């Protein structure tokens, strides 16, 4: 347990009809036929002479010859074989560069946070001079005004090259050690989330003391 009352606060911000109409109609077939009836034969009557009329019938046959079968078309030429796939080119990845914004020095609070990050398999936070400047200015403001409140993180976002900014703040007895401050933050889920967020690669810390003997701390994270 940490001696004395500890107040915490946390905040984060990121830059971040087709209609088809048809007509079905088969071919129309119109067949018409006529049948003719010839006049009946008359046999003339005669008292003394008999005449016979013989009708001769001629049959005409029409033969339709089917056309010779059509030869099938020549087969299409075979498609040329596909070219072989190019061999993949292996490019060695570039060596990882330093974390963005690592231009400041660390301190005991960053060391304490890095110990908890390492235990969770995360990389270490590095010190950043710009973040440290914003954090220190804000710690001074909180100590002078006796108010535990967050600064406008959009201002930090606009003034730095980071895409994401978060902040943890704290006030408590002036005797608090960095380890006790870290323990208090880690017991608060929102503060713990900032500390163990792999998006953040750099941090800056500000510490100030008020006349009534309390410590005011601001930690700004950048990613």
Residue 198 carries which DSSP code? T
3-state SS class at 166: strand
Residue 53 in tokens: 């009329």
- The average pLDDT across 162-177 equals 97
Tell me what the mean pLDDT of segment 189-197 comes to: 97
Instruction: Find out whether 150 and 169 touch, Cβ atoms under 8 Å.
Output: yes
pLDDT range class, residue 10, cuts 50, 70, 90: confident
In 10 A of CB 190, how many CB atoms?
14
Helical H runs in 23-127? 108-119
Q: What angle do CA 130, 163, 111 make, to 5 degrees?
A: 50
CA distance 222 to 77: 65
pTM above 0.75, yes or no: no
Among 19-28, 98-107, 129-138, the range scoring the smallest mean pLDDT is: 19-28
8 — pLDDT class (breaks 50, 70, 90): confident
Instruction: Give the pLDDT band (50/70/90) at residue 34.
Output: very low
Helix (H) or strand (E) holding 29: none
At residue 106 the predicted structure's pLDDT band, cuts being 50, 70 and 90, is: confident
């Amino acid at each position: 347990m940490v001696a004395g009352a500890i107040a915490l606060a946390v905040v984060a911000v990121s830059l971040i009809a087709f209609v088809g109409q048809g007509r079905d109609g088969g071919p129309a077939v119109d067949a018409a036929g006529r049948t003719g009836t010839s006049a009946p034969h008359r046999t003339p009557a005669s008292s003394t002479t008999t005449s016979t009329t013989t009708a001769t019938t001629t049959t005409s046959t029409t033969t339709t010859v089917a056309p010779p079968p059509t030869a099938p078309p020549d087969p299409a030429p075979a498609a040329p074989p596909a070219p072989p796939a190019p061999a993949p080119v292996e490019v060695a990845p570039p060596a990882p560069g330093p974390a963005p914004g690592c231009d400041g020095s660390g301190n005991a609070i960053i060391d304490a946070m890095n110990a908890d990050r390492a235990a969770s398999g995360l990389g270490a936070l590095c010190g950043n001079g710009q973040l440290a400047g914003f954090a220190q200015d804000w710690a001074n403001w909180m100590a002078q005004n006796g108010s535990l409140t967050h600064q406008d993180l959009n201002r930090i976002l606009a003034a730095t090259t980071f895409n994401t900014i978060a902040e943890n703040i704290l006030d408590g007895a002036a005797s608090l050690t960095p380890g006790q401050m870290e323990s208090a933050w880690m017991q608060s889920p929102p503060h713990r989330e900032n500390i163990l967020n792999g998006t953040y690669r750099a941090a800056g810390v500000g510490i100030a003391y008020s006349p009534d003997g309390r410590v005011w701390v601001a930690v700004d994270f950048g990613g």
